Amino acid sequence: MTRGGQAKDRDETERKCIVTGEVQPKAGLIRFVMGPDNQVVPDVLGKLPGRGMYVTADRAALAAAGKGQFSRAAKAPVTVPDDLADEVERQLARRVVDLIALTRKAGRAVCGFEKVKGWLAGGERVRVLVQASDGSERGKTKLWTPEGARYFDCLTAQELGLAFGRQSVIHGALAAGGLSDRVVEEATKLRGLRESIGGNAALGKEK
């Protein structure tokens, strides 16, 4: 099983976490590279040149990596920024927001309680139900996660607002498709970081 609770695709590329030693799909790992100044640099998009070092999307794992695992993996002394976990979280949050925005622009996402409820009740094939971590729990429980869909609340109302081009958003839904699958992957990582500091509920939990 992957970190988000999905069965692994046998063709999915896997990498080993330098902290736990566990081999798992790249979707559950954060890639790092060593910069020209020997400083550890997060590669959220997975496109930076250099030999990748992979760490499970979890603050405890990142903390452990900074205490020697990065140096061992790089086989050289490295500099680890004090705010590395915070920077990774910031980049992941931005990534999730951007992907939701792309899904919206493609006409595959809606926001607002009534619109989301209409999608859920009208047979729209919803891939993801997303709700703000700081939204009213009473209001959020009035919506439901369809069978086979995913749920997460690891973004704030302001962050969801950025994704939907509004000041704030509490409820959103994404239709099935490739972009929504990418949202799930990146939100799983973000959830791993925010959950470990008592932040938000787990991606994929049942409602």
> Is residue 150 within 8 Å of 129, Cβ to Cβ?
yes
Which tens digits make up the pLDDT trace of 115-166?
999 999 987 799 999 999 999 999 999 999 999 999 999 999 999 999 999 9
Enter the pTM of the model: 0.86
Q: Which residue has the higher pLDDT, 7 or 25?
A: 25
Question: Got the DSSP string for 6-53?
Answer: PPPPTTS-EEEBTTT--EEEGGGEEEEEE-TTSBEEE-TTS--SS--E
Delineate the domains of the chain, giving CATH numbers in brackets.
Answer: 14-82 (3.30.1230.10), 89-195 (3.30.1330.30)
Count how many Cα atoms sit within 13 Å of the Cα of residue 53 in the half-sphere of its side chain.
25
> Is residue 138 within 8 Å of 198, Cβ to Cβ?
no
Which tens digits make up the pLDDT trace of 68-86?
999 999 999 999 999 999 9
CA 139 – CA 141 distance, rounded (Å): 6
